[in-house]
């Protein structure tokens, strides 16, 4: 974290990934064959789904013996659908990988649209089958995928289908379900697309420290918020918010329409019992309401911890209070310290490998295999999409890691984070595909765990080398930033979304009202720990405008505290930990989160104690940072 990060390029960067094992190119025979295979499967699934759909209305009276033909048709439909989704998913992952590396790849963009269309056709084809499975009596369902079913390939379908069956009261008729899914692409989803298009093209005017101003895209302006120069960060933040204000009518229309659509759909689905605004999110998160309440209660009780972290950060920066433009700032430069040195890629990978091997030798070997197979993308070049992610090809089940690596400690931590996700994917090879889809609440367990393992490893190395100073402070800074993000910022987002859902039924909210809601939400959580609040956050934060999922916030805080709970077990279990950890990860796609926690950690996450214990571990980190900050700033 020194001045070199501000120059456009550094000599240190990561390698290109090698995707040839999946597909050599978009125009390769292998890509074309898979595309044809999906189309062939669709041609078979569409009429079959239509036929199954004719039985949806009377599905509650189905009998496994007299309706044996339908049972068999459903079985073959389910396997065909799984195959189509597996192949289509691999094509989509490949296209997405190419677009990430080269945002201007026109052919990738064209194919993305085409594949999305195929995806939507699959959903429509499956609508009747989904209703039959949801409404069929237990005897029929058990014969389909229970122990009584002779085809083991169908057993893996049981978990996800059982969950959908619990939503029976919310399901509409086949016609209504099809109408909704037909209208959604140019309705609900279109608002999300508008947001993406608007934020992808609008210009932010950022005042330059030396005078004058530069116009730039939102992504570039946002990346300035992570720069060491505080004046530049503030200028970027002001430039972003001015752009938000200039487009306030568009942004508020988008948010009102998304919220209004969800409210209207929940109304339609409330015929048997009322559907609350959180219900869909809880279902997708695979947790019950008591668990969410326990988590939010513990977060509320611990928000002072996040504020303490912010105050200590301010002390270290030599300011009275941080501004809203400081919450993503890197650790202040420590001249001459090891934190200022760029860590070459190979050395970085070797550090992560050793940190992983300290947890479980198999994890260390896995990092070597990822490197040898070229499954990591780390180049620093123009046209690459910012950010980092881990992705899996459903067909081969190979995980790949995407990042931009320039050798900073925080980028090394990101690499460990993504390799943690990759290890999760590796472990899931052992379970059926249909049991390997985990919810967002459990998604960040392996990644956050990996970051913690790296942090511990580096701290012990630094201590052993007698050089805990700069690296220690930089690590502690990122601990403090995490505390502020997960105990204050994420809850403030949740608070805003709750308030919006509460207010929206009385009519659309104008930009002023939305700014007011955001200000109140920040005040509730940040208190006096900042010099001001980010009232345009409702417009600038993508997560509020995503149409595939609502309340895209609390699962982050869940994952943070949950992974701390897992990490605590590492110390308790010692040599027995690796096996327990793999067992936990393996079950993330086939159990409710409560069950995963009870079975593998022996804890009840619907009680506040579990979450408060996690907050206790954060308290240790924050206190350590406060001591370091007081020392470094001479107080």
- Residue 444 Cβ vs Zn ion, minimum distance, rounded to whole Å: 5
With respect to Zn ion, which residue has the nearer C-beta, 403 or 550?
403
Number of Cβ within a 10 Å radius of residue 386:
12
3 state SS of 203: strand
| HSE-up (13 A, CA, CB side) for residue 223 | 11
With respect to Zn ion, which residue has the nearer C-beta, 277 or 446?
446
With respect to Zn ion, which residue has the nearer C-beta, 436 or 447?
447
- Residue 626 Cβ vs Zn ion, minimum distance, rounded to whole Å: 27
- Residue 539 Cβ vs Zn ion, minimum distance, rounded to whole Å: 24
- Residue 575 Cβ vs Zn ion, minimum distance, rounded to whole Å: 28
With respect to Zn ion, which residue has the nearer C-beta, 243 or 355?
355
Q: Kindly give, in sequence order, each residue whose CB lies less than 8 Å from that of residue 76, ignoring residues fewer than 6 positions away.
A: 48
DSSP state of 59: G
3 state SS of 546: coil
Spatial contact of 549 and 601, defined as CB atoms under 8 Å apart: no
With respect to Zn ion, which residue has the nearer C-beta, 256 or 447?
447
Helix axes 490-503, 289-317, angle to 10 degrees: 130
- Residue 2 Cβ vs Zn ion, minimum distance, rounded to whole Å: 26
Handedness of CA 407, 412, 418, 419 (dihedral sign): positive
With respect to Zn ion, which residue has the nearer C-beta, 521 or 563?
563
- Residue 445 Cβ vs Zn ion, minimum distance, rounded to whole Å: 10
Spatial contact of 413 and 330, defined as CB atoms under 8 Å apart: no
Q: Can you tell me the distance from the alpha carbon of 501 to that of 496, in angstroms, rounded to the nearest whole number?
A: 9
Query: Residue 401 forms beta bridges with which residues?
Result: 376, 390
- Residue 602 Cβ vs Zn ion, minimum distance, rounded to whole Å: 25
CB closest to Zn ion, residue no: 447
With respect to Zn ion, which residue has the nearer C-beta, 447 or 550?
447
With respect to Zn ion, which residue has the nearer C-beta, 222 or 445?
445
Helix axes 577-586, 593-601, angle to 10 degrees: 160
Tokens standing for 626?
A: 């406060």
| Residue 214: C-alpha distances to residues 7, 217, 220, 313 (Å) | 16, 10, 11, 29
Question: Cα 157–163–165 angle (5° rounding)?
Answer: 95
Q: Which residues of the shown chain bind Zn ion in the complex (CB under 5 A)?
A: 447
E strand or H helix at 390: strand 389-392
- Residue 447 Cβ vs Zn ion, minimum distance, rounded to whole Å: 4
């Amino acid at each position: 974290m020194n001045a070199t990060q501000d120059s456009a390029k550094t000599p240190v960067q990561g390698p290109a990934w090698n995707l040839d094992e999946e597909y050599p190119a978009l125009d390769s025979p292998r890509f074309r064959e898979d595309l044809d295979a999906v189309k062939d499967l669709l041609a078979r699934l569409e009429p079959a789904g239509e036929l199954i759909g004719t039985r949806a209305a009377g599905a509650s009276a189905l009998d496994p013996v007299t309706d044996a033909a339908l049972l068999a048709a459903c079985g073959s439909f389910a396997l065909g659908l799984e195959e189509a989704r597996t192949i289509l998913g691999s094509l989509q992952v490949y296209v997405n990988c190419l677009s990430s590396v080269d945002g201007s790849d026109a052919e990738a963009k064209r194919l993305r649209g085409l594949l999305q269309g195929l995806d939507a056709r699959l959903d429509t084809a499956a609508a009747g089958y989904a209703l039959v499975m949801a409404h069929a009596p237990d005897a029929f369902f058990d014969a389909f995928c229970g122990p009584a079913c002779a085809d083991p390939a169908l057993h893996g379908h049981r978990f996800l289908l059982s969950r959908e069956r619990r939503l029976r009261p919310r399901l509409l008729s086949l016609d209504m379900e099809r109408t909704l899914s037909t209208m959604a692409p140019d309705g609900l989803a279109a608002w999300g697309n508008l947001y993406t298009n608007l934020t992808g093209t609008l210009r932010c005017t950022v005042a330059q420290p030396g005078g004058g101003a530069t116009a730039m895209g939102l992504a570039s302006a946002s990346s300035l918020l992570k720069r060491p120069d505080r004046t530049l960060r503030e200028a970027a933040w002001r430039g972003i918010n001015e752009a938000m204000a200039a487009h306030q009518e568009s942004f508020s229309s988008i948010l009102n329409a998304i919220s209004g659509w969800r409210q209207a759909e929940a109304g339609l689905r409330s015929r048997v019992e009322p559907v609350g605004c959180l219900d869909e999110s809880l279902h997708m998160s695979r947790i019950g309401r008591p668990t969410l309440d326990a988590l939010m209660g513990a977060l509320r009780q611990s928000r002072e911890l996040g504020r303490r972290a912010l105050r200590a950060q301010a002390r270290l920066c030599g300011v009275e209070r941080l501004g809203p433009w400081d919450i993503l700032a890197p650790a202040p430069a420590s001249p001459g310290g090891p934190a200022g040195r760029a860590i070459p890629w190979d050395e970085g990978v070797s550090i992560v490998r050793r940190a992983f091997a300290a947890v479980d030798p198999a994890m260390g070997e896995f990092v070597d295999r990822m490197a040898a197979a070229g499954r990591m993308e780390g180049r620093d070049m123009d046209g690459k999409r910012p950010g980092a992610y881990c992705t899996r090809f459903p067909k081969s089940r190979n995980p790949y890691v995407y990042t931009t690596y320039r050798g900073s400690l925080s980028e090394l931590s990101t690499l460990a984070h993504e390799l943690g996700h990759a290890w999760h994917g590796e472990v899931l090879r052992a379970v059926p595909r249909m049991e390997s889809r985990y919810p967002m609440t459990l998604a960040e367990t392996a990644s956050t765990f990996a970051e913690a393992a790296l942090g511990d490893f580096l701290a012990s190395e630094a201590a052993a080398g007698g050089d805990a100073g700069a690296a220690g402070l930089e690590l502690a800074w990122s601990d403090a930033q995490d505390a502020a993000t997960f105990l204050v910022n994420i809850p403030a987002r949740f608070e805003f979304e709750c308030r919006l859902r509460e207010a929206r039924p009385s009519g659309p909210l104008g930009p002023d009202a939305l700014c007011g809601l955001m200000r109140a939400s920040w005040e509730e959580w940040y208190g006096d720990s900042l010099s001001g609040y980010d009232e345009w956050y409702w417009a600038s934060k993508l997560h509020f405008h995503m149409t595939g999922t609502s309340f895209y916030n609390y699962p982050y805080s869940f994952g943070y505290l949950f992974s701390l709970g897992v990490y605590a077990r590492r110390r308790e279990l010692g040599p027995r930990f690796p096996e327990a950890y793999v067992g936990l990860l393996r079950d993330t796609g086939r159990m409710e989160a409560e069950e995963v926690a009870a079975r593998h950690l022996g804890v009840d996450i619907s009680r506040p104690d579990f979450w408060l214990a996690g907050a206790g571990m954060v308290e240790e980190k924050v206190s350590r940072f406060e001591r370091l900050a007081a020392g470094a700033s001479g107080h």
